[in-house]
Each structure stands twice: as structure tokens, then as C-alpha cells.
């Protein structure tokens, strides 16, 4: 007699996952933009200290948000991560279903804009289009490096079953990448779009955003290619990016 097959993992309902992605991405942008505004207010004459304050808040905030929302949606908060998840598991059916990709992206972008507006409101600054130009050659290369490293990190952690340290590792990586990349590591198209709506320390002009997003997509593809090269069986764990969302069917 053949052994019974194990029950297929069940994800939370799509509406719940989209709600988690929207709220999580919104809070991420509130952390990024809000801490940037606070930093420029508290340390107006020291850009290095501003960056330290902004990066520390972002690293800690991101780690906490992954812990909060990861069990529901996977805590992607990032279109590049969502696309990497779907692409990596497409052949085996282990990644995010393709039908869920566009809703995830829409929730992330909407959340990013909402979170930026919330930060502006809290600090009583106007919500207006940013004027900070960032699309220089070196910064664009920086976005490729930052995003490639992020994708490689999260897939490597998933593939090796180290999901317990994902929140801390991703937060630490983004905090470090603020400093070791020339772009201060946006590494996220939704974050890039959201930051267009705050003309503050964290802002980016709409003229710079498309190139940043293009470099992020290229970086994501490079990171995924390196993963496939070094971990050819990584697709088996695609559903564990960033945080596993499999739950009992009763949830």
C-alpha cells in the first residue's frame, strides 16, 4: 500500500496577504521617511550623522516588520523579492502563484505611497514631489549591487533552512548597505516610488526613479542568477521567501 501524501501547505487567504503587504510596506516607508525627516531635524549640519540615524532606524524597523507580517504574507514589501519568489518556484510550483504577483505589487506600491504620506503628516511637512536628484552612474551601480545582494541573501537563507534569522539578517544587510553602496540602498521599486512623495532627506526625484527601478530589476535578476548557480536546488524552498507563510487550513 502506498503511503499517503502529505497535505499540501495552505497559504492565508489572498486578501489577508495583500493587507499584510500593504500595511507592512506602508510602515516600512513610514520608518524610512520618518526617520529621515527626524534625522535632518535633529542633526541639520551633519549629513553623516543623519545617515547613521536613518539607517539604524530602517534596519531595526525592517527586522521588526518582517517578524510582524512574515507569517501572513511572507513579508516581501518589495516587488523585486516578489518577482524573485514567483520566478524561482515557477517550474516546481513552490513559489508565489503567478496570479498573485500583480496584486502583491499593487499592494506594495500603494502601501509605500501611503506610508510616505503618513510620515509627512506626522512630521508636519507637505506631501510634495521630491527634488533630490540621485541617478548618477555610481549610484545606479550601487542599486544593482544592493538589490543583487538582498535577493541572494534571502534566497540563500530560505534554501538553507535558516528562516529564524531572516528578519535580523535582512535588517542588518539593509542597514549596512546604506553605508557600503553609493545609492544608500533603496533596493526596492516600491520604496523608490514612495520616496518620490516626500521632498525631504529621504526623497528621490521622479526623474531619477525610473533608472533606479531599472537597476533594481537588473540587480534582482543578477542575484537570482547567482543563487541558481550556487544553489541549484533553491527552487524547492521558494515558498519560504522571505518568511514561510504555510499555515493550517483552519487559519
Span 210-247, pLDDT tens digits: 999 999 999 999 999 999 999 988 888 777 777 767 54
Percent of the chain with pLDDT over 90: 80
138 phi, psi to nearest 5 deg: -65, -40
Helical H segments across the chain, by residue range? 14-42, 47-73, 79-88, 98-122, 137-159, 166-180, 189-195, 209-230
Q: Answer yes or no: is pLDDT of 4 > 60.
A: no
**pLDDT range class, residue 249, cuts 50, 70, 90:** very low
In a domain, 126, yes or no: yes
**pLDDT range class, residue 75, cuts 50, 70, 90:** very high
Task: Give the chain's domain count.
Answer: 1
In a domain, 193, yes or no: yes
What's the pLDDT at 197? 98
Q: What is the pLDDT of residues 151-210, one digit of tens each?
A: 999 999 988 888 889 999 999 999 999 999 999 999 999 999 999 999 999 999 999 999
Could you tell me if 146 and 162 are in contact, meaning their C-beta atoms sit under 8 angstroms apart? Answer: no
What's the pLDDT at 8? 46
Average pLDDT of 8-30? Answer: 90
Domain of residue 29, residue span: 14-239
In a domain, 34, yes or no: yes
Q: Can you give the pTM of this predicted structure?
A: 0.91
In a domain, 1, yes or no: no
- Residues 163, 190: Cα–Cα separation, whole Å: 24
Q: Answer yes or no: is pLDDT of 92 > 90.
A: no
In a domain, 8, yes or no: no
CATH number at residue 85: 1.20.1080.10
Amino acid at each position: 500500500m502506498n503511503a499517503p501524501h502529505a497535505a499540501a501547505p495552505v497559504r492565508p487567504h489572498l486578501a489577508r496577504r495583500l493587507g499584510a503587504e500593504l500595511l507592512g510596506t506602508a510602515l516600512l516607508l513610514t520608518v524610512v521617511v520618518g526617520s529621515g525627516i527626524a534625522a535632518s531635524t535633529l542633526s541639520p549640519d551633519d549629513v553623516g550623522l543623519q545617515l547613521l540615524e536613518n539607517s539604524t532606524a530602517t534596519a531595526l524597523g525592517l527586522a521588526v516588520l518582517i517578524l510582524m507580517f512574515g507569517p501572513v504574507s511572507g513579508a516581501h514589501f518589495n516587488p523585486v523579492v516578489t518577482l524573485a519568489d514567483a520566478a524561482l518556484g515557477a517550474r516546481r510550483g513552490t513559489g508565489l502563484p503567478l496570479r498573485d504577483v500583480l496584486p502583491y505589487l499593487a499592494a506594495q506600491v500603494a502601501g509605500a505611497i501611503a506610508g510616505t504620506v503618513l510620515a509627512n503628516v506626522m512630521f508636519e511637512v507637505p506631501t510634495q514631489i521630491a527634488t533630490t536628484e540621485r541617478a548618477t552612474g555610481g549610484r545606479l551601480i550601487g542599486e544593482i549591487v544592493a538589490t543583487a545582494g538582498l535577493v541572494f541573501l534571502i534566497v540563500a537563507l530560505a534554501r538553507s533552512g535558516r528562516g529564524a534569522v531572516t528578519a535580523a539578517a535582512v535588517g542588518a544587510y539593509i542597514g549596512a548597505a546604506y553605508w557600503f553602496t553609493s545609492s544608500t540602498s533603496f533596493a526596492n521599486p516600491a520604496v523608490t516610488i514612495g520616496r518620490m512623495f516626500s521632498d525631504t532627506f529621504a526623497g528621490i526625484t521622479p526623474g531619477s526613479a525610473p533608472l533606479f527601478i531599472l537597476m533594481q530589476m537588473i540587480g534582482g535578476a543578477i542575484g537570482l542568477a547567482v543563487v541558481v548557480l550556487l544553489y541549484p536546488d533553491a527552487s524547492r524552498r521558494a515558498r519560504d521567501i522571505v518568511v514561510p507563510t504555510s499555515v493550517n487550513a483552519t487559519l
